[in-house]
Structure 1
């Protein structure tokens, strides 16, 4: 990348940051900071809920992953990643039932009531791992657009982007996240339309077909995503926090609309990967190779899209981390006078610690941590949340939680660090995600069986 390109990227980044700074509130109440309420105490609007939920799930890492999967496996690779966005439907229905049939005002409070304090805190620790992964996996994508990984421009972009997002989230918490999300969603939609306008003509003329082997690999990944949608959304505080800030009916309609909107966005953007295949770009991230091939204007558009998507995810991550550590951990409903100040300290600490995995490039890993691992591995480790949430109408106790939670956590850990321990028969499907799919399939069955055993024991003890 030459000096002119670098200057153009930074000028556009400054424009983006200026607009976000203008949209972010300068001062909010404690209820606005933690619950996103308006200055007059009103709940966020229906439109704001849809825009915020949708753009907060259009992660920078998800955009990159969808394009790479489409480049590797054909169109069905992008569709496979889009399956994750059915999480909104699963979560919307589950939270609607929780909110209309119980008096709980948050997911952690619900888990404590059903499974006890230890279960709730184990859940929050799993959520904390998810929040941690969201930091580096998104800042890495942003930095890669400014320069090669490990270079000075790469690190400068990571630093500036992280600090800027911390500052406006530090000031406004969840309210800042909601208001800036609305702008980011509109802007991302406009950038997607421009991208499709540029890449569509050659795709229409010569739709690159996927080979049978590629199709099998893509469908394997789609099955993996489908298995994870029954647990994945429940360890995402970006989603769970927004499930309790409006009325149950508004939330359900908003979640379904947000899922359709963000899922369609991801599938459409994955066409960038098909374009990369058509142009013979077979190595490296599809987004980077296509933006470089199309010249400076498209490079700038892709760069702003990454800033937009990563920014919406990071500010939501920071605000959720503040609420989790200060309110949820101790099941507090009332907001203490010093709660906001303490939450701001958590935001700063997470911003620093969350970027440390990027340093692994200096520890023998020449490409750093893989961004797709932040999705597939964390989703595997929490597979036990599926029965814990979706089967909570059965007789429950702390035993249910542990018999469902720990098998998923152990299997996910083994898959992440020692995959060679799994026998060949554990793989389901074909391609690089066959083992992960098998572990999730059998693991989900094991977690559900454990939950049922806990329910039988709890029922027998109560008779």
Structure 2
């Protein structure tokens, strides 16, 4: 049994390499175009959206939040997947109402170099955190942090993923995403069937935590519902897939990705909820699940994490290449440059795994808090079509969100207690409300001043 998971990981890795078409043109590598220049279809685009957002970190977080905070913790994480609905609206407005080819083009037209500079910084950090977090989950599955198995697994996994990503770019990512999601669906269905059929768990276990508004689970649900307005715009993987197909295909892919992703996240997270209902003091989630379900379901649990980690990593690397070569335009859009960028991002992610912070949800919360600077941009400049917002309003929102993200990280990690003794998710809620409120106020006031200056 000890060799089954490594063998499964090897099979998925080998199949992904075999399925990856070699990119012969920049269009295939950066835009996912077929050999004849065709755009991805609805199934391919939807499955790619789903599998790139159901990453290993997400599955683990949904289960862990369920373990500690009950079904409300899992639902809170699932609520982040409403981002597909807001993200679809953002993409539709950018492309078909404003006529832009990327988020950077829009921000450049509204706020100049500072607009793109701030944005590229935030999504650059986001991409690196994705590499780091998914490699970290893989390492934990195969060994204790710092062990030889942990180290070798992470290095081998990163090498294989980097190999086929460099070969095919975004085209390879789209192709392997479909295969990987089909395998993931099969694994998840079998896992849930075994869990439901187990005599040791009952459906009423899902409600072992009552709904109490001021508890961490419900509070995090509210945080998610606030952050989904800006969260998708700062996710380059989602945004990149919004510019690949025609309007109707793109709209439908975002809609279907939303409900499919939420079902998967809730189903997987419920395993953590069941573990929390039966956990003894001091027991971990994995230990409890092993006692409840046995070795085979736990093998499937870990297999699902392996698949999701690989499917996210290749997409993250593709978006990293596009960020530097296409969106930031700091190098020529060549295959060689794109592959070099992928290697650099993977290396930085590896360095963070071995010398960085190991709190998985901190990366999500910090990233989501930093993205809040985009909320007034979306409300006023994108959907409101306001062109009278001054640069200082944009920079004020950016600095405010970045400061809040840093403050949340220090508070949640125990480095500071400036916000008192309340739970870290309560602090996150107040920070989210403050950044959104003050950011929108800055945009409104900046626009008002501009109008006053122009009035006779």
- Tell me the TM-score normalised to structure 1 length: 0.91
Aligned partner of 1:360 among 347, 355, 360: 355
Change (3 A) 1:62 1:247: same
| Structure 2: runs of 5 or more not aligned | none
Q: How does 1:375-386 map to 2 (within 5 A)?
A: 375-386=364-375
Change (3 A) 1:288 1:350: farther
Aligned partner of 1:399 among 368, 389, 392: 392
Q: CA deviation at 1:382?
A: 2.0
Change (3 A) 1:49 1:95: same
Give per-residue Cα distances to partners, 1:131-154, cap 9 Å, x unaligned: 111111111111111111111111
Change (3 A) 1:418 1:196: closer
Q: How does 1:223-372 map to 2 (within 5 A)?
A: 223-280=222-279, 283=282, 286-287=285-286, 289-291=288-290, 294-330=293-329, 336=332, 339-360=334-355, 368-372=357-361
The residue that corresponds to 2:19 in the other structure is 23
Q: Is the 8 Å Cα contact of residues 133 and 374 (structure 1) preserved in structure 2?
A: yes
**Range with greater deviation from structure 2 (379-388 or 408-417):** 408-417
Give per-residue Cα distances to partners, 1:249-291, cap 9 Å, x unaligned: 3212211110111111101111111221233255566356525
Change (3 A) 1:323 1:437: same
Q: Is the 8 Å Cα contact of residues 37 and 44 (structure 1) preserved in structure 2?
A: yes
Secondary structure (helix, strand or coil) at the match of 1:391 reads: helix
The residue that corresponds to 2:217 in the other structure is 218
Q: Distance in 2 between matches of 1:270 and 1:214?
A: 20
Q: CA deviation at 1:331?
A: 8.6
Give per-residue Cα distances to partners, 1:90-136, cap 9 Å, x unaligned: 11112212212222111111111111112111100110000111111
Change (3 A) 1:184 1:287: farther
Q: Distance in 1 between matches of 2:281 and 2:176?
A: 36
User: Structure 1 residue 439 and structure 2 residue 428: aligned?
Assistant: no
The residue that corresponds to 2:363 in the other structure is 374
Secondary structure (helix, strand or coil) at the match of 2:126 reads: helix
Secondary structure (helix, strand or coil) at the match of 2:142 reads: coil
Change (3 A) 1:399 1:215: closer
User: Structure 1 residue 38 and structure 2 residue 34: aligned?
Assistant: yes
Q: Distance in 1 between matches of 2:156 and 2:291?
A: 23
Aligned partner of 1:84 among 80, 90, 93: 80
The residue that corresponds to 2:161 in the other structure is 165
Change (3 A) 1:207 1:243: closer
Change (3 A) 1:418 1:81: closer
Q: CA deviation at 1:23?
A: 1.6
| Structure 1: runs of 5 or more not aligned | 362-367
Secondary structure (helix, strand or coil) at the match of 2:310 reads: helix
Change (3 A) 1:149 1:331: closer
Q: Distance in 2 between matches of 1:412 and 1:181?
A: 31
Q: CA deviation at 1:179?
A: 0.8
Give per-residue Cα distances to partners, 1:274-329, cap 9 Å, x unaligned: 22123325556635652576444223322221121111111111000001011111
Q: Distance in 2 between matches of 1:222 and 1:34?
A: 35
Q: CA deviation at 1:173?
A: 1.0
The residue that corresponds to 1:365 in the other structure is none
Q: Is the 8 Å Cα contact of residues 68 and 285 (structure 1) preserved in structure 2?
A: no
Q: Is the 8 Å Cα contact of residues 68 and 286 (structure 1) preserved in structure 2?
A: yes
Q: Distance in 1 between matches of 2:355 and 2:136?
A: 12
Structure 1 runs, 4 residues or longer, greater than 6 Å off: none
Give per-residue Cα distances to partners, 1:70-103, cap 9 Å, x unaligned: 1111111111110000011111112212212222
User: Structure 1 residue 409 and structure 2 residue 402: aligned?
Assistant: yes
The residue that corresponds to 1:135 in the other structure is 131
Change (3 A) 1:121 1:206: closer
The residue that corresponds to 1:183 in the other structure is 179
**Range with greater deviation from structure 2 (440-449 or 300-309):** 300-309
Q: CA deviation at 1:417?
A: 2.5
**Range with greater deviation from structure 2 (104-113 or 408-417):** 408-417
The residue that corresponds to 2:7 in the other structure is 11
Give the CA RMSD over aligned residues: 2.2
Q: Distance in 1 between matches of 2:53 and 2:282?
A: 26
Q: CA deviation at 1:432?
A: 3.6
Q: Distance in 2 between matches of 1:74 and 1:424?
A: 25
Aligned partner of 1:448 among 432, 440, 450: 440
**Range with greater deviation from structure 2 (339-348 or 453-462):** 453-462
Q: CA deviation at 1:229?
A: 0.6
Q: How many residues align?
A: 445
Secondary structure (helix, strand or coil) at the match of 1:270 reads: helix
Q: CA deviation at 1:176?
A: 1.0
Q: Is the 8 Å Cα contact of residues 396 and 439 (structure 2) preserved in structure 1?
A: yes
Q: Is the 8 Å Cα contact of residues 23 and 29 (structure 2) preserved in structure 1?
A: no
